[in-house]
Amino acid sequence: MKLTIIGSGYVGLTTGACFAEAGHHVMCVDNDPRKIQTLLDGNIPIYEPGLATLVKKNVVSKRLQFTTSTEDGVNYGEVIFIAVPTPPQPDGSVDLSYIEKVAREIAVCLDSYRVIVDKSTVPVKTGERVSQTIRRYAKAGVEFDVVSNPEFLREGSAVDDLMHPDRIVIGGNSDRALAVMQKVYEPFVAPVLVTDINSAELIKHAANSFLALKISYINALSEICEISGADVEKVAEGIGMDKRIGRSFLNAGLGYGGSCFPKDISAFIAIAEQLGAPLNLLKEVEKINAHQLNRFLQGIREALWVLKDKKLAVWGISFKPNTDDVRSSVAVNLIEALVAEGAKVTAFDPKGMEKFKELPLAGKVTLTESALEAARDAEALIVATEWPEFATVDLAELRDVMRTPLIFDGRNLLDPEAAASHGFQYRGIGRGTLP
C-alpha cells in the first residue's frame, strides 16, 4: 500500500520506517526543511536503536521517501497518518493547533477518497473535529474518512514496539476505512482492537495515565519505605509477583518525565474536567511526581548542607535510557534546580548531550566525554537516568576520581552494598541510607 505520514519526528519517522520495512511504500512529510534535508542527506535527526539501519535500508529499496510538501504527501498515500505534536498549554490542556493546521492543509489538497488517521495523542472527540475541519475546507463532494490509531511505542525501543506491538487500536466509524486499516496492519502479528473513534482516543490517555499512576504509587511507597526502614525494591518485587499487578512500572525513582507522560496526564485531567467528570486521582499522581524530585533534592541539600560552588556530577540527561530525547526530562529539571542553587554541575549522558546543548541551561553545565570524567573531583555523584552502562562502572575507579565518596542514586541503579564496600555513602530511593 502507499502510505503518507505527516510529521516525521520520533513517532512519524519510526512509524514510516517500520511500515516500509513491513512492505508498504511510505512518504514521510515534515514542514521542518532542516529535518527533511538531514534525512535526504542520509542522516537521522534522532537517536532510536535500530532506526538508522531501517531507514537506510528502506530508502535504498525505494520504499521510503521524504518531502516537505503536504500536497505531494496527500496525493501519494491512500492513507494519511497525522503524527504532529500535541504539546501542553499553560493550563495543562492540549494545544491542538498543529492538528487543526494539518487537517486544513490536507483538506485543500484532497481530490479523491483518503483515510485520514490520527496517530498523535489527542483528546477524546478530536476525530470529530478533524472530520468537521476537513469537510469545511475540502472541495464539495470529495470523500474521506477519519480514523483514530493511537501510538503506544516507547522511545528507546520504538522500532521493536512498532514491529511487534502488544496491540493495535483502530477507532473508526466507517467499514470502508476500517477495511483499509486492517490491510495496513496485515503484515504485523498483533491483536487488533477495533473501536469507535472516541474510545480509541480515550484508550491512549487512559493507558498513559494508568502507567503514571503505577509509577507514582511505588514512588509514594518509597517515602514510606525510607521512613520505616523497609526496602522499596523488595516491596515492588513482592507486589509485582501478583499476576494481577505485574512488576513493570513499579520502579521507584525520581518520577516520570519525557515528552509524553507529563503532558498526557495533565491533558487527561483537563479533558475530564471539561467533560464534567474530574479525575482528581490524577491530580494526586502529579503531586506525588513533583514531590518525589523535591524530596530527592532535599536529601542532597541535607547531606551537603551548602550547594553553592560545590562540584556535583550528574549521570544521565535523557528522560530515560536508550534515547537522546531530553524533552521534559526529570534529569534536566534536577540539573536546573542544582544550577539555580549555585552548584557547579558536570554531566554526562551517552546519547542525550547533543539535544541538551540546544537548551539554554547547557551553557551553565560542563559536559564531559565519559561518566568517570564527569565524576572527577566531584563532591557527590547523582544518578539521574538509568543507562545500563552506569551500572557497570568500576566503583574502585569511581572512588579514586571523586573528591567525596557520596552517591545519590535517583534510579536505584547501583548496588548499595557494593557501593558501601567501596567506601561510598549511598542514598537511593526508598532503600534507606547506608553508612
Under the binding rule (CB under 6 A), the answer on residue 6 touching ligand NAD is yes
Answer for the pair 88, 263: CB distance below 8 angstroms, yes or no. yes
Cell of 90: 499553560
Residue 28 among the catalytic residues: no
Which residues are registered as beta bridge partners of 433?
A: 427
Under the binding rule (CB under 6 A), the answer on residue 7 touching ligand NAD is yes
**DSSP assignment of 107-150, as one string?**
HHH--S-EEEEE-S---TTHHHHHHHHHHHHSPTT--EEEEE--
Give the residue, chosen from 18, 29, 218, 254, that forms a contact with ligand NAD under the rule CB under 6 A.
29
Q: How far is the CB of 162 from ligand NAD (least distance, A)?
A: 10
d(CA 373, CA 371): 5
In the region spanning residues 121 to 150, those forming contacts with ligand NAD, defined by CB under 6 A, are 121
Q: How far is the CB of 67 from ligand NAD (least distance, A)?
A: 10
Q: How far is the CB of 178 from ligand NAD (least distance, A)?
A: 21
CA distances from 238 to 11, 175, 241 (A): 35, 46, 6
Stretch of 2-10, 16-24, 277-285, 339-347 contacting ligand NAD, by CB under 6 A: 2-10
Answer for the pair 83, 119: CB distance below 8 angstroms, yes or no. yes
Under the binding rule (CB under 6 A), the answer on residue 382 touching ligand NAD is no
Residue placing its CB nearer to ligand NAD in the complex, 7 or 410: 7
Give the residue, chosen from 16, 77, 85, 127, that forms a contact with ligand NAD under the rule CB under 6 A.
85
Answer for the pair 418, 410: CB distance below 8 angstroms, yes or no. no
Rg from Cα positions in the chain? 23
C-alpha 29, offset from chain centre: 21
Site string for ligand NAD, 250-289 (x = CB under 6 A): ---------xx-----------------------------
Under the binding rule (CB under 6 A), the answer on residue 120 touching ligand NAD is yes
Element (H, E) at 2: strand 2-6
Q: How far is the CB of 267 from ligand NAD (least distance, A)?
A: 9
Under the binding rule (CB under 6 A), the answer on residue 86 touching ligand NAD is yes
Sequence-distant (≥ 6) Cβ neighbours of residue 392 within 8 angstroms: none
Cell of 318: 535523557
d(CA 205, CA 170): 15
What residues are designated binding site for substrate? 152-155, 204, 249-253, 257, 320
Interface residues with ligand NAD (CB under 6 A) are: 6-12, 29-32, 35, 70, 83-86, 98, 101-102, 120-121, 151, 153, 155, 259-260
Give the residue numbers marked as catalytic: 260
Binding-site residues from annotation for NAD(+): 30, 35, 86, 121, 155, 263, 327
